[in-house]
Amino acid sequence: MCGIVGYVGEKNAQDFLVSGLKRLEYRGYDSAGVVTFGDKGVTLVKAKGKIGDLEAKLAGLKRGDKVGIGHTRWATHGEPSEVNAHPHHVGNIYLVHNGIIENYKELKNALSGYEFKSETDSEVLAALIDSFYQGGKYPLANAVVQALKLIQGTYGIAVMSELNPSEIVVARAGSPLVIGVGHGETLIASDASALLGHTKQAIYLNDGEIATVTKNSVEIKTLNAEPVSAKVEEIETNLAAIQKDGYEHFLLKEIMEQPRSLEETLRGRVDLEEGMVRLGGPGLSETELRKIKHLVIVGCGTAYNAGLLASYYIEQFTPEVTVEVVIASEYRYRQAYIPKDSVALIVSQSGETADTLACLREIKKQGVRTVGIVNAIGSTIAREVDGGTYVHVGPEISVASTKAFTSQVVAMVMFGLTIAQAKGVRSGVLKPYIKEIAKLPGEIKKVLDECRELVKGVAEKYKDYDHAVYLGRDTAYPAAMEGALKLKEISYIDANAYAFGELKHGPLALIDDRFFELALLPEGELYEKAVSNVQEVLARGGHVITVTNKTEFDLPVESVVKITTSVEALVPILLNLVAQLFAYYVAVEKGLDVDQPRNLAKSVTVE
Ligand code: M6R
């Protein structure tokens, strides 16, 4: 979603602001802007569209200004337009804002003497700060605090005043902000990736904190004026991890790097000799693990699908534990009772998803132990859970989540195995899963290498359809859900997933020439039943693609992608790789913006 950058130092601020905004492009946005202060006054430039449009407007305006803030906006209040783009300028105040000010209408009505140019909630916040600033009568940070005390909603903000051009005031509540500490320069970003190449030293601001930064200092306080001693942390990501590495798109790079990213998830956690998995992060003792009777898995989108797939496995080897998988945006408002001896798994790639974070906070209020399954190190969810397992897949830049899904599933399965081990489930039951997990990176590599060209050819045939039905049963059903999500978000083909057994209860009515059906058919106990379901679709003129590991597959379907693998239980994870490649190549064939699909953002930090 929206991105924030800021710079104060000795170098050309515009260079960092523009390059920083480019790094944040992957989060999704529809307009951008920067403001810098210098000898020649204020330079405020905004543009609808991409950073390239902003750069074109900035050409010729390079003034060597050494302080400034910038923003990419993902429209919430008001259409994507130049006037709605940030920075907002009101009186002496320039402001960029991520988040949503819920009570902006009341505040707007109460603010007299201001003419608002935009439809945004953010401009109201700028005016509110200006009203407390009173033309520089009070320190900027004080005015910001006064304003924030009246705000309901979420924010990450960076504020400047031309009356004090050597400082930037930043604050956060629910929207991340990182302060990069350099030599004679201080940088600000809503995502640490924008800081790479400039500094590796970062201060992650907490909710309810406000910081005044100059080129040589960072002073942090709470909104109640209590001083906070800043903890400087090392940014773990490196520049190579956020580059395309020769691939045409980040999405393809991220699909293809899954053997390695999964190895990182498994590193030091699987002991094949002992037939054990060891997860230190959740911080639960053997006694606590033994007591667990119920798991709640919370996530959105792909993270939810990963939780659903993991839940099928966890139920297979921890018979005394019930597993409930919930959509965060729904769960946060339900009056759900969480039984005693529960643990909640909070699943999020970004660690910043607003709905998931809200659930985490609600669940904690009930005294339930929370465990994060998170990728982004130092993210808000990672910091607020009681314990957690990082999936360690490295930065995921493409909006469509792929490598995170695979590792989230495996990390949750490992957590389930940890519970089962503590409960004394026979090793004969657990070892087959552990062995499969250990060989999964190699099997993933084999499938990706063998299928990539084949899937590309298949995808070309289906690019012109408007609708798709994804089908699977048992563990292949959540995999089908994930496949359908991938197709719809990057190819804009309306794709929905159904459990095979549900076909006759409604979806079968859909089958006609406008639809194709993608069936995930893992070999196993329910294979023959799923084959019968495919036959029912074929009998009604369906255009069926099957993805299977069954060697003797002879149904008269339109297209088949066969994978060869020695993995059994975890096959749906491999079938999903084919669905990822399929969605990718369909979107490429359609000439779409694969990495930044329309209307979407990578990290959904607003409700
Ligand atoms: O960062 P999170 O894992 O919390 O994000 C959750 C969803 O927004 C995310 O998985 C989304 O569904 C992806 N774009 C799907 O590819």
* Ligand 1 proximity of 349 Cβ (cutoff 6 Å): yes
* Ligand 1 proximity of 356 Cβ (cutoff 6 Å): yes
Do 390 and 273 have their domain in common? yes
Q: Which domain holds residue 516?
A: 449-593
Averaged pLDDT, 44-55? 94
* Ligand 1 proximity of 350 Cβ (cutoff 6 Å): yes
Confidence of residue 142 (pLDDT cuts 50, 70, 90): very high
Beta-strand pair 387-390/467-472: unpaired
* Ligand 1 proximity of 4 Cβ (cutoff 6 Å): no
In the reported structure, the alpha carbon of residue 407 is separated from the centroid of ligand 1 by a whole-number distance in angstroms of 14
Q: What CATH number does residue 459 fall under?
A: 3.40.50.10490
Percent of the chain predicted with pLDDT > 90: 88
Looking at the CA of residue 399, tell me the nearest atom of ligand 1. 14
DSSP structure class, residue 152 = -
Q: Evaluate whether residue 602 is within a structural domain.
A: no
Averaged pLDDT, 243-256? 94
Q: Evaluate whether residue 440 is within a structural domain.
A: no
In the reported structure, the alpha carbon of residue 460 is separated from the centroid of ligand 1 by a whole-number distance in angstroms of 26
Do 309 and 213 have their domain in common? no
Neighbouring C-beta atoms of residue 588, cutoff 10 Å: 20
Substitution site in 325, 331, 350, 393 for ligand 1 pocket (most atoms within 8 Å of beta carbon): 350
Which of the pair, 244 or 259, is modelled with greater confidence?
Answer: 259
pLDDT at 60: 79
Output phi, psi for 172, to 5 deg: -145, 145
Do 158 and 285 have their domain in common? no
* Ligand 1 proximity of 353 Cβ (cutoff 6 Å): yes
Confidence of residue 132 (pLDDT cuts 50, 70, 90): very high
In the reported structure, the alpha carbon of residue 230 is separated from the centroid of ligand 1 by a whole-number distance in angstroms of 30
Do 20 and 116 have their domain in common? yes
Domain boundary residue, one of 241, 266, 296: 241
Do 375 and 403 have their domain in common? yes
In the reported structure, the alpha carbon of residue 401 is separated from the centroid of ligand 1 by a whole-number distance in angstroms of 6
Averaged pLDDT, 376-391? 93
Q: Output the residue whose Cα is nearest ligand 1's atom 7.
A: 301
Give the CA distances from residue 588 to residues 50, 68, 467, 583, in Å, rounded to whole numbers and listed in that order. 20, 37, 17, 9
pLDDT at 435: 97
In the reported structure, the alpha carbon of residue 348 is separated from the centroid of ligand 1 by a whole-number distance in angstroms of 7
Do 30 and 150 have their domain in common? yes
Q: Evaluate whether residue 194 is within a structural domain.
A: yes
Q: Evaluate whether residue 430 is within a structural domain.
A: no
pLDDT digits (tens, 9 = 90+) for 543-553: 999 999 999 99
Bridge partners, 546 (sequence order) = 519, 560
Substitution site in 300, 331, 402, 602 for ligand 1 pocket (most atoms within 8 Å of beta carbon): 300
Q: Evaluate whether residue 331 is within a structural domain.
A: yes
pLDDT higher than 80, residue 555: yes
In the reported structure, the alpha carbon of residue 71 is separated from the centroid of ligand 1 by a whole-number distance in angstroms of 22
* Ligand 1 proximity of 389 Cβ (cutoff 6 Å): no
Task: Give the catalytic positions in this structure.
Answer: 2, 602
Bridge partners, 101 (sequence order) = 153
Grouping H, G, I as helix, E, B as strand and the rest as coil, residue 373 is: strand
Least confident of 58-62, 449-453, 496-500: 58-62
HEC per residue, 194-250: HHCCCCCEEEECCCCEEEEECCCCEEEEECCCCEECCCCEECCCCHHHHCCCCCCCH
Q: Output the residue whose Cα is nearest ligand 1's atom 12.
A: 301
Do 233 and 370 have their domain in common? no
Substitution site in 175, 302, 381, 399 for ligand 1 pocket (most atoms within 8 Å of beta carbon): 302
pLDDT at 28: 79
Output phi, psi for 218, to 5 deg: -135, 115
Do 215 and 269 have their domain in common? no
